[in-house]
Amino acid sequence: MNGLKEHLLACPIKQYFGIDCPGCGFQRSVLALFEGDLIRSFKFYPPTAPLIVLLLFTMAHLKIDFKHGAFFIKILYIGISLIIIINYIYKIFTHQLS
């Protein structure tokens, strides 16, 4: 894990404009999730767990073709998009954008 932590990709938006983008924190959140720290993962980036669920469900749906799988995937996309937007607005209002 230490090797991965040392080689995280830099966010180009943060690098050029100096503020977090709506996806900032995702890499650190995934690493925290791999380490088993769900709370720290959520604090870094709240939509990480739902994104992983979406990825796994989409792969299963492509393999098995669930009856209402496409509808469920659309609902997950909408819900995750709302989580991302709400998280970013929260960061703006609490002055957490670096």
| Average pLDDT per consecutive 10 residues, the chain (98 residues; last block may be shorter) | 76 89 92 93 95 96 95 97 95 84
CB atoms within 10 A of CB 71: 10
Cα separation, 44 vs 41, whole angstroms: 5
Report pLDDT for 1.
64
29 and 23 in contact (C-beta within 8 Å)? no
- pLDDT tens digits, residue range 26-52? 999 999 999 999 999 999 999 999 999
pTM of the full structure: 0.84
Structure-token pair, residue 47: 């939509």
Of 66, 87, 26, nearest in space to 58 by CA: 66
Q: Which residue has the tokens 């073709």?
A: 65
